[in-house]
Amino acid sequence: MMAYTYLAKLSPRQKMWFIVSVVAVLLISVLGILCEPDRSGKEPNQFTISMSIREIAPKLDVTGKGLARELALPLDTPKNKPLSELGISQEQLAHATTHILSHHSTGLKYYLFAAIVLFGLVYLTRLGRPDNADVSERILWYPRIPYIACLLSRVMSNAHMLMLPKLSENWDINPELPLNEAWQSLLNG
């Protein structure tokens, strides 16, 4: 009931600000999705153990030392030798390349952050206090729902950006990890 009263107290100009800001948030989010680079060219199964570290590392956007570290090889390992001569199996290579590719950042989070900040700015400067509300109705000013919605959308987008796309069918998720226990305790209350 309070949310309905809040929306009813907004002036026509504030309602226009609200509509324009929601459209801007949606446009910024869609722009972020459309500008996301295509990662289909970097698939873990395109690398073979007949390739050397020097051939694979640039395609993964890592250094030779970084790939050697991921493959559990000494850092001074010759980078021109095929991985099969270094004792690396195809499964180890696939696991290492999948792990490296999972750490590549996306630009979408910046677009989503800009969209949320834009809506928060409009809310705080134009929409928080309805123009048609008296001082006696100040309980209607700055309702918590937009604060909570912005907070939850940011937390969900961060969780989505950090965790969900990184999971693949090849990875085993260990439910005994402390992080998973912490998430389960938060989700279960």
Rounded Cα gap, residues 130 and 14, in angstroms: 8
DSSP assignment string, 87-148: T--HHHHHHHHHHHHHT---SHHHHHHHHHHHHHHHIIIIISS-TT--GGGGGGSS-HHHHH
Helical (H) or strand (E) element with 41: none
Q: What type of residue sits at position 31?
A: L
This prediction has a pTM of: 0.55
Q: pLDDT per residue over 24-39, tens digit each?
A: 999 998 998 888 766 5
Question: Could you tell me which residue, 107 or 126, shows the higher pLDDT?
Answer: 126
**Residue of 90, 84, 94 whose CA lies nearest to 52:** 84
**Contact yes or no for 103/116 (Cβ under 8 A):** no
User: What is the rounded average pLDDT of the residues 149-173?
Assistant: 58
Rounded Cα gap, residues 30 and 13, in angstroms: 26
Rounded Cα gap, residues 49 and 76, in angstroms: 18
Q: pLDDT per residue over 48-100, tens digit each?
A: 888 888 888 888 888 888 888 888 888 888 888 888 888 888 888 888 888 88
Following CA atoms 77, 79, 82, 84 in sequence, which dihedral angle do they give, to the nearest 10 degrees?
30
The three-state secondary structure class of 78 is: coil
The confidence score (pLDDT) of residue 67 equals 87
